[in-house]
Amino acid sequence: MMNLLHLQYLLEIAQCKSISQAAQNLFISQPYLSKVISKVEQDVGFAIFVRTSSGIKITKEGELFLEYAGQIKKQIDNIYNIKPQMEVQSNLSIATVYSSMVLQSFLDFQSMYKNEAIHDEFCEDTFNRMIERIVQRKSRIGISINPKNSKLLKQDYYDQYNLETEVLLENVPVRAIVYKGNPLSKKKFVTIEELKQYPFVYYKDTHPDEFVNILGLSSQHEIVYVSDRGSYSDILRTGRYVSVTLEMSRQQKRYSGCCCLPIKDNDILAEIKYIKPKQYELTQREEQFLQFLKTSLEKEIM
């Protein structure tokens, strides 16, 4: 049976391109390392290295072997990193879809610990990349804001990634956001049909057709998809584009020159959830943050 430690030895040789240098780096003798090479090559049935006057050369079979060996080592490293990643930590590690409300709540919560040496992490991204961060343990908690009838909210979607979710707020009305120079900004409320008279700007994700279907837009409707909140705001401020949001009128300062308007007869409702790996237990501070976030969002939205 192949020894995992031997794979590490061979990867070191490939990195150094020298058996003697690899032996020094590994704190083992060169003759022993040479025996390891011969043993592994005998096990797999082909040469991995060819010795030359200038060092070693990797064979074609060896290149493929080392590629797979590198993948194995990476997965082994991931296994050994599970415990440190999942151990109780005082810092927050949050991934969220783009939301100034969530960001502001995070900053308000963080200010309560301003005299403590805590290093929190906050990452805004698209829904799918946010899920990817949770799955890869780059972030421990995700905050999702999606339409209630979204395919992305079906439980089997989360089950396939071994994630669990809990609703923080449900039945949240979606609002329109327009620049103050847009004629719609003078209205007390707008309709979906009025919004359809303008091109939309929205955040890019892997299911852009879902946004079109939820709003009942034509497949030919002009939509610009962006991947950051700065571009989103800048495009809105041209006055030509409109969008939908959960932001409230009192949050207009976050989108300078824009206003948020109720949508008449609006049946587009959203849910705000938190997401985490099923086997991960929330720390006390994480539970405090989620309760703080829920309370903050309720005050802002409801």
Question: pLDDT for 205-217, tens place per residue?
Answer: 656 566 677 788 8
175-267 has which CATH code? Answer: 3.40.190.290
The residue among 52, 60, 63 whose CA lies nearest residue 10 is 63
Residues 6+ apart with CB under 8 A from 121: 91, 92, 93, 94, 139
The residue among 25, 24, 17 whose CA lies nearest residue 58 is 17
User: Where residue 148 falls among pLDDT bands split at 50, 70, 90?
Assistant: confident
Instruction: Map tokens 């720390």 to a residue.
Output: 283
At 257-267, the pLDDT tens digits run: 888 888 887 77
Residue range 239-265: average pLDDT?
Answer: 74
For 234, half-sphere exposure in the C-beta direction (CA atoms, 13 angstrom radius) is 8
The residue among 14, 23, 103 whose CA lies nearest residue 65 is 14
Sign (positive or negative) of CA dihedral 185, 186, 192, 198: negative
The per-residue pLDDT for 37 is 93
Question: Is the fold of 93-171+270-301 the same as that of 175-267?
Answer: yes
Q: Average model confidence (pLDDT) for the chain?
A: 84
Sign (positive or negative) of CA dihedral 232, 234, 240, 246: positive
CA distance 292 to 211: 29
Strand partners, 56: 51
Residue range 47-53: average pLDDT?
Answer: 89
Is 50 exceeded by the pLDDT of residue 249? no
Q: What is the pTM of this model?
A: 0.64
CA distance 177 to 237: 10
User: Where residue 123 falls among pLDDT bands split at 50, 70, 90?
Assistant: very high
What are φ and ψ of residue 58, in 5° steps? -90, 130
Domain positions in the chain? 4-86, 93-171+270-301, 175-267
Architecture of domain 4-86: Orthogonal Bundle (1.10)
Is domain 93-171+270-301 annotated with CATH 3.30.420.40?
A: no
